[in-house]
Chains A and B, each alone.
Chain A
Amino acid sequence: MITTPNFINKVVTGITTWARVNSPWIIHFNSGSCNGCDIEILATLTPYYDIERFGIKLKGSPRHADILVCTGPVTRQARERLLRVYEQMPEPKFVVAVGSCGISGGTFAGCYNVVGHIDEVLPVDAYIPGCPPRPEAIIDGVVKLLNHLKEGTRPQPIRPEIGDHA
């Protein structure tokens, strides 16, 4: 009898995790990218790749979204907006950084108007490398994030040491 609440808790957690993994709604934000990655993200959303198969939907409002897909280095202008979009999202929320610039600042690293990579502003859960990454790579990255959610852990990405660029 003592185990009953635990059992119920386990079942409820299982159901919510199942729902979360099967219905990730994304919001797309560009914090200073060259638009290359954005075009690839838009290509990913087209019927050709059909990500509605996984239950992924693009949402306009941060309040409806679960995953923030952001591209590009964070410019000084975009920093406040990026943080605001992130804070408007309800918990639990996840961040996916798409493209080389999102991972390390890329070709914009060290520019006078750039804060740095997305990791310096937000806790990123998954990185998708490429300049720009192909739609298949983006789908793969999101599915890897979902697999981690299934196990109930936030992914712990091993990211290479990035040199000082400030």
Chain B
Amino acid sequence: METLLAITSIMFFPAGLSLIFSGMLYEWADRKLVARFQNRVGPRWFQPLADTIKLLAKEEIQPLGVNQALFFGLPVVALSGALTAALYVPIFGIQPAYSFPGDLIVTLYLLSLLTMCMGLAGWNSASRFSIVGATRTLTQLFAYEAPFLLALLGPAMAADSWQIGKIVAYTESHWMIVLQPVGFVIALIGLMGKLELPPFDAPEAETEIVAGALTEYSGRGLALFHIGRSVEMVIGVSLVTAFYLGGLGNPLIFLAKSLGLLLVMAFLQSVLVRLRIDQTVGMWWRAGAILALLQILALIVLK
């Protein structure tokens, strides 16, 4: 029974297939919202599914001069990292499948695994565009990761626990968006940096470096990275919603809240223009990290 439960939770729910499909739905919602903000019709609801199936059915070209094991292994590791992180996160407002003290840190590192894999994949691809893209991906990782972590540590410190379940139980009665507004803004923008959404899409800037780190990937590898990205979007949005917008509560209300968060992200994507990579790093370390640190200092003093 135990094993069956474990297999179900890994393969179907909350990780696995259901997460992949909800990732596609989130990606569609994001694209559709951006389209509506730009006053156009936007993609149809099955668009991410069609994209994924098409990519899976395409030829996969292995460029000359790459390490074969890394080239084919990295997309798998990236996706499995993102799917594993889902086991510790309350997705759709349902209690996480597994929980242990300190799982917040593990989750955040599992989420970074995708970015690290993307950087490595770009470095491994032996193409000048993908190497520039990989450098930018990793530079951006070092920019947003610390402020994002500090912003999620705020609720953790307030709840006196590093276990996602306990933090979420605490935030259910305390709306952190009111108590720690700075942390919420940093977490939201950090999430956009993590997902490489428009103001922070310098790592895959189409007009400059073709397609960034994934330039040489075609077919299956590209599809797996795409799915990993959408899964990360679901997990990130759920995490920020649970931490800052009043905990879990009713799954339907939780879904509405996370869609509201997605709406704000789509709005920011459509009104902001791409930052240069040095502007991104400067913004995070000059403003983001210092504000997050100040808030944590205030928390320590006021506690």
A contact residues vs B (CB 8 Å cutoff): 15-16, 18-20, 22-23, 47-48, 50, 52-53, 55, 58-61, 63-64, 66, 88, 90-92
B35 touches A50 (CB 8 A): yes
B50 touches A23 (CB 8 A): yes
Nearest first, the 3 A-B pairs at minimum CB distance are A19-B53, A90-B59, A50-B40
B230: min CB distance to chain A, Å:
15
Q: Is B128 an interface residue (CB 8 A)?
A: no
Q: Is B39 an interface residue (CB 8 A)?
A: yes
CA distance A48 to B35 in the complex (A): 11
B contact residues vs A (CB 8 Å cutoff): 31, 35, 38-44, 46-47, 49-54, 57-61, 129, 206-207, 210-211, 214-219, 222
> Known contacts A19-B57, A20-B54; is A64 also within 8 Å of B218 by CB?
yes
A91 touches B58 (CB 8 A): yes
Residues of B within 8 A of A23 (CB): 47, 50-51, 53-54
Not counting A22-B50, A60-B210, A64-B217, a sample of 16 additional A-B residue pairs whose C-beta atoms are within 8 angstroms of each other reads: A19-B52, A19-B54, A22-B44, A22-B46, A23-B51, A48-B40, A50-B35, A50-B42, A52-B43, A55-B51, A61-B215, A64-B211, A90-B218, A91-B59, A92-B58, A92-B59
A20, A22, A50, A63: the one contacting B57 at CB < 8 Å is A20
B219 touches A90 (CB 8 A): yes
CA distance A88 to B61 in the complex (A): 8
| CB nearest to A91 among chain B residues | B59
| CB nearest to A17 among chain B residues | B57
A15, A60, A63: the one contacting B53 at CB < 8 Å is A15
Residues of A within 8 A of B42 (CB): 50, 52-53
Can you report 8 residue pairs joining A to B where beta carbons are below 8 Å apart?
A16-B53, A52-B41, A53-B42, A55-B50, A59-B206, A63-B218, A64-B214, A64-B222
CA distance A92 to B210 in the complex (A): 21
B61 touches A90 (CB 8 A): yes
Residues of A within 8 A of B219 (CB): 90
CA distance A106 to B206 in the complex (A): 31
A18 touches B57 (CB 8 A): no
CA distance A6 to B104 in the complex (A): 49
